[in-house]
Amino acid sequence: MDSLSELKIDLRQMIIAIETTVDLVGMNDTNHAKRVAYIASQIAHKLGFSEEDNQYVFELGLLHDCGVSTEQMHSNLVNHFDWEDAHIHCEIGYNLLKSFKPLRKFAIPVLHHHTAFNKLKKLNLTERDANMANLIFLADRIDVTAAAHYETDILLARDSIVKNIKEYSGTYFDPNIIEAFLSLERSEAFWIALEDRHISRFTWDMGQFETSTVINMSQLKQLSLIIAYIVDQKSPFTAQHSARVGSLAKYIASRYGLSDEQCQKIEIAGFLHDIGKLRTPDNILQKPGKLTKTERSIMDQHSYETFEILRHVKGLEDISIWAAFHHEGLNGTGYPFHPKEKDLSIEARIIAVADIFQALVQDRPYRGGMSLDNVLSIIYEYVDIGKLDESVVKVIEKDSQKCFDIAKGEAEENKDSERPIIPWKR
């Protein structure tokens, strides 16, 4: 056994990290999946589910919308009770979850979490999967119907919410599940608990519950890649950016002489460095020109968001800092933390160089991908002004064609990370 196998991460905490990442897509409309997880697990409790099934329902609720990475998709799902294109995010989520063994058990219910009860019965599903899927569908639609009333008049609105939901008993929803919901909703506490400040707390507490599965370094790598795909899907211009930054950073780290464990952790930090970008509006990410001051002020928040998500996962403390520092310069330029030079670790410096290098190689809305010579001359300008670490850039220079190929996705090193997890996207 090597030392790598010692890194152990609680899967529950990673599920919460995935949920928090996907939740950023909703911009100001937050905590949807946390509420669905809460509502579904409360109904499951009324239905007499075992403790294990209850925990499963909670995690399924957190993951159910992992196939949503654009604002447009998010708003259609929130604004329509039965959107005709809802199946798209179900299929994306299904494929993502199916590709990772520890989360595979959630794939089928996620695929059917917008399938009406009367159609579900005709499919060839196990009774358990069908029940789980319909429970999430109901919890999801309860939250969507209640959304306008949080922080204002939820206890006044509950009767009309319940009336609306009841009309779909037997068509969209299983009457047994509706019955359980009706006995649950009588308590005001159920509704009050849905407010943002309570639901965040509740989810946080559930994250401390350490009985779930533990994943190792190689599983963490796979899962990080899945999260990177969710982020990279948001914009065609950043497609594969995270995956390639991870591969390139790992390669530079190994040429720099860092240990195998450091190299693997750097790769993971590279995959995850931009997860906070899910909160940047699509029109800013895809703008074919210079950002205005206002747009820049929004864009510049993304690495803080990355930090905030990762730092809560026990075992990812150092990875969260390396990822969060990817826009920091040695000379104090950059954002958003402005660490002192001595606090910028070699791992963070490598990721910062890999990020810029890959971005310059790739097509962007405002310019095409650059040639190797141009990329190197820009990178050296950053060294000259004291922003990037010269020793890291020297490593690239010695092996520049190889680094260029990795950044383009055309090297042997890319083979593990260029796997098309979402086949219809690429």
> Could you give the string, one character per residue 9-48, with x where binding to Fe ion holds by CB under 5 A and - elsewhere?
----------------------------------------
| Shortest Å distance, C-beta 361 to Fe ion | 15
The half-sphere exposure of 365 on its side-chain side, counting CA atoms within 13 A, is 13
Nearer to Fe ion, 19 or 413 (CB): 19
| Shortest Å distance, C-beta 169 to Fe ion | 20
Q: Residue 65 interacts with Fe ion (CB under 5 A)?
A: yes
Nearer to Fe ion, 10 or 65 (CB): 65
Please choose, out of 49-57, 171-179, 266-274, 367-375, the segment that lies near Fe ion by the rule CB under 5 A: 266-274
Q: 353: closest CA among 412, 400, 396, 316?
A: 396
Nearer to Fe ion, 12 or 74 (CB): 74
| Shortest Å distance, C-beta 414 to Fe ion | 20
| Shortest Å distance, C-beta 70 to Fe ion | 13
CB 144 within 8 A of CB 120: no
Query: Helices 241-256 and 217-232 meet at what angle, rounded to 10?
Result: 140
| Shortest Å distance, C-beta 165 to Fe ion | 15
Nearer to Fe ion, 47 or 92 (CB): 92
Q: What are phi and psi of 231, to 5 degrees?
A: -70, -45
- Residue written as tokens 């209850």? 54
Q: Provide the 3-class DSSP secondary structure of residue 30.
A: coil
> Exactly one of 174, 185, 274, 389 binds Fe ion (CB under 5 A); which one?
274
Using CA atoms, how far apart are residues 72 and 74, in angstroms rounded to an integer? 5
Run of H or E including 9: strand 9-10
Mind spelling out the 3-state secondary structure of 32-72? HHHHHHHHHHHHHHHCCCCHHHHHHHHHHHHHCCCCCCCHH
Please choose, out of 53-61, 184-192, 243-251, 269-277, the segment that lies near Fe ion by the rule CB under 5 A: 269-277
Q: 241: closest CA among 262, 257, 225?
A: 225
Please choose, out of 50-58, 167-175, 268-276, 290-298, the segment that lies near Fe ion by the rule CB under 5 A: 268-276
Q: Residue 328 interacts with Fe ion (CB under 5 A)?
A: no
Please choose, out of 44-52, 267-275, 311-319, 417-425, the segment that lies near Fe ion by the rule CB under 5 A: 267-275
| Shortest Å distance, C-beta 65 to Fe ion | 4
Tokens of 287: 């703008």
DSSP labels, 185-247: TTSHHHHHTTSHHHHHHHHHHHHT-TTS-EE-HHHHHHHHHHHHHHHHTT-GGGTTHHHHHHH
Please choose, out of 21-29, 199-207, 246-254, 273-281, the segment that lies near Fe ion by the rule CB under 5 A: 273-281
**What is the number of other CB atoms lying within 10 angstroms of the CB of residue 341?**
13
- The residues that are catalytic are 277
| Shortest Å distance, C-beta 238 to Fe ion | 9
Nearer to Fe ion, 65 or 232 (CB): 65
Using CA atoms, how far apart are residues 273 and 63, in angstroms rounded to an integer? 21
| Ramachandran quadrant class, 173 (left: phi over 0; alpha: psi -120 to 50; beta: rest) | beta
Task: Report which DSSP code applies to 424.
Answer: G
Nearer to Fe ion, 65 or 71 (CB): 65
How many residues contact Fe ion, by CB under 5 A? 3
> For residues 117-146, which are near Fe ion according to CB under 5 A?
140
Nearer to Fe ion, 140 or 328 (CB): 140
Contact residues for Fe ion (CB under 5 A)? 65, 140, 274
